[in-house]
Structure 1
Amino acid sequence: MAEYLNRDIKAIITEFPAVADILGRYDIGCVSCGLGTCLFKDVVAIHDLSAEEEAALMAGIAGILYPGRDVVIPATARQDRPKTVGTRYSPPLQKLVDEHGLIKRWVAIIPEFIENLDIATEAGRQEIRQGIDFIRSFADKYHHAKEEAILFKYFDESLDIIKIMCADHENARARVREMLAALERQDRETIATHLKAYRDLLTEHIKKEDEVLYRWMDRNLSTSQVGKLFAAFSEKDGEFGGAPKNYEDFIIHLEKKYKIMEVSK
């Protein structure tokens, strides 16, 4: 089975489709992943499985790869780690999760925002600019920058899970550029198209980070690294001053305008 550990998981699924069903039992969504070039061994390592769950997953996949044969299942570095209980994060990772909370509130607003897009008036265009600025400044320059410039530097940035996150960030940036250009020419349909795509992108992106990436990172950060991360994040917060609160006020304004209840974190 060792020869499969260094193969792309999607290549394995293509050859053995039933592997996707085994992964799905443990909420490992490799089939729906946008990039999907993770190695099999990394997929096992980054997901928060108990030793028993990991053994069952590996045995199930071995049965598909080698039907009717007894196979030696290789141990992984992850196997002796206890499964995370609940959804507690270290303080710096909790900061990022909290920021996700505000982004999720914006994502929840987007359908109503699209329905009420007003490009005919300056007031309407200004609100669209504010929505795009929330994506560009809060979600990207404030939040994503913490990940790319600080958090990811503590890990091997060639790992596919990190490359996937960065690819998502670039996707979002491209959509911001398209929306700004569309706003200049008052192209309502294009703005709506990219807002919908951004909503879909960030919904899955945040889920992958909160449920997979951050938990894996927390398991692999030392106490010293956690402290340094918290200090670096706090310094970044200081650089932005009161801007994050202003973006929260904007979201609150839209929630009241469209009568949308706050999305739980």
Structure 2
Amino acid sequence: MNDSAGPAGADRRQFITQSGLLLGAAVVGSSLSLLGCADNAGQTAGAAAQEPGKAGGEKEGGEDVSANEDLMREHGLLKRVLIMYDTMADRVTGGQELDRDVAAQSAGIIREFVEDYHERIEEQHLFARFLKAGKMTELVNTLQVQHDRGRILTSRMLLALKAPRLSKADQQQVVADMRQFYRMYTPHEAREDTELYPALHQLVSRHEYDSMGEEFEKIEHQKFGQGGFELYLSKVTDLEKKLGTWDLNQYTPII
């Protein structure tokens, strides 16, 4: 017997058709719902990735600076002062008089920004962590000794340069101290940049690392106000121009 014949068969076909349409609508609705959830999740993740201050300390103007980047650019400032030390020492050795004003201001920047700020951060926030964890202790101890010796050299230079009169012997001592400072800090900062700073990632969590960058910025603002690094960079640039070490082209070899 044919079930589709007659009114009963028509009712059955109508039921099957309506059921199929309802099922199809349900499947499509579920798919759209899943796509909507995925899209919302993607937008949320994207917004989180773009949210400022998540990858380190947040600088003025929304610029994010990590702990290592903060320390390494301060090394760049130190290196520029070291170049001035080296230049002044060479000129005195060549028979010229020492530029006492540039020498005194350069040593003052080393004392204020490098020794009393940058190195204190390294000692309190990096060296202490490595020593507590028992990691890279030989390197850290050597770096600490060099910080201490550098402060002795800077104090000696500042004392001589602030005197009313600088004798030839005093000038030669200042030059000798500049050369020792340069000789020690060139490999010193290179070891920190290539060994100590990279190892920090294995020593602390990502969250702690990010917090360190924010803490460094907070300390800088408390000590120098807004834009402390920029302030000292400007001072270094002015001294470079006065001494004649600012123009980068002069260091390019003629081949």
Aligned: 1:113 with 2:91: no
The answer to which structure, 1 or 2, has the higher relative contact order (CA under 8 A, 6+ apart) is 2
Tell me the alpha carbon deviations over residues 183-236 of structure 1, each in whole angstroms, 9 at most, x when there is no partner: 226211010000011011110101100011111122222112112211210111
Indicate if the aligned counterparts of 2:67 and 2:212 stay in contact, CA closer than 8 A.
Answer: yes
Tell me the alpha carbon deviations over residues 156-181 of structure 1, each in whole angstroms, 9 at most, x when there is no partner: 25612111111110010010122123
Indicate if the aligned counterparts of 2:102 and 2:239 stay in contact, CA closer than 8 A.
Answer: no
Indicate if the aligned counterparts of 1:92 and 1:229 stay in contact, CA closer than 8 A.
Answer: yes
Aligned: 1:189 with 2:172: yes
Task: Name the counterpart of 2:112.
Answer: 137
- Identity among equivalent pairs (%): 25
The partner residue of 2:189 within 206, 227, 250 is: 206
The partner residue of 1:236 within 198, 203, 219 is: 219
For the aligned residues, what is the CA RMSD? 2.6
* Unmatched segments (≥5 aa) in structure 1: 1-89
Cα distance in 1 between the residues matched to 2:154 and 2:241: 25
Task: Name the counterpart of 1:255.
Answer: 240
Task: Name the counterpart of 1:170.
Answer: 148
Cα distance in 2 between the residues matched to 1:120 and 1:259: 17
Indicate if the aligned counterparts of 1:93 and 1:218 stay in contact, CA closer than 8 A.
Answer: no
Task: Name the counterpart of 1:40.
Answer: none
Aligned: 1:160 with 2:160: no
State the shift of 1:153 in Å. Answer: 2.8
State the shift of 1:128 in Å. Answer: 2.3
State the shift of 1:155 in Å. Answer: 2.5
User: What is the number of residues matched between the two proteins?
Assistant: 172
Cα distance in 2 between the residues matched to 1:113 and 1:254: 12
1:143 aligned partner, one-letter code? H
Over 4 Å off, 4+ runs: none
Indicate if the aligned counterparts of 1:182 and 1:191 stay in contact, CA closer than 8 A.
Answer: yes
Q: Give secondary structure in 2 for the equivalent of 1:130.
A: helix
Q: Which has the higher helix share?
A: 2
2:143 aligned partner, one-letter code? M
Task: Name the counterpart of 1:91.
Answer: 66
Q: What's the TM-score once normalised by structure 1's chain length?
A: 0.58
Cα distance in 1 between the residues matched to 2:195 and 2:179: 24
2:233 aligned partner, one-letter code? E
Tell me the alpha carbon deviations over residues 89-114 of structure 1, each in whole angstroms, 9 at most, x when there is no partner: x8111110111111111112222223
Q: Give secondary structure in 2 for the equivalent of 1:156.
A: helix
Cα distance in 2 between the residues matched to 1:116 and 1:142: 30
Deviates more, 1:193-202 or 1:244-253: 244-253
* Unmatched segments (≥5 aa) in structure 2: 1-64
